Amino acid sequence: MPMYQYQCRSCEQPFEKRLSMSRASDPQDCPACGSADTRKRLGAIALGGLSSSVSMAAPQPAPRRIS
């Protein structure tokens, strides 16, 4: 499940939530003050199950043969 970043508009506290993609647009309450006035922050999402950022990189070209 992806990790999404949010920020509270009331107390300005940033927080993260691990949610299914189908719930990513649902309103999220601030864990610090309880306000429902929060916004999803733009940024990278963390996807579980990937061992490193290399797996997200562009494919590498095939090795060249040396004759």
Residue-wise pLDDT for 14-63, tens only, equals 999 999 999 988 999 999 999 999 999 986 555 665 544 444 555 667 77
Dmax of the chain from CA atoms? 67
**pLDDT attached to residue 59:** 66
Domains and CATH numbers, the chain: 3-49 (2.20.28)
With a threshold of 0.85, does the pTM exceed it? no
Other residues' Cβ atoms within 10 Å of the Cβ of residue 38: 22
Amino acid letter at 30?
A: C
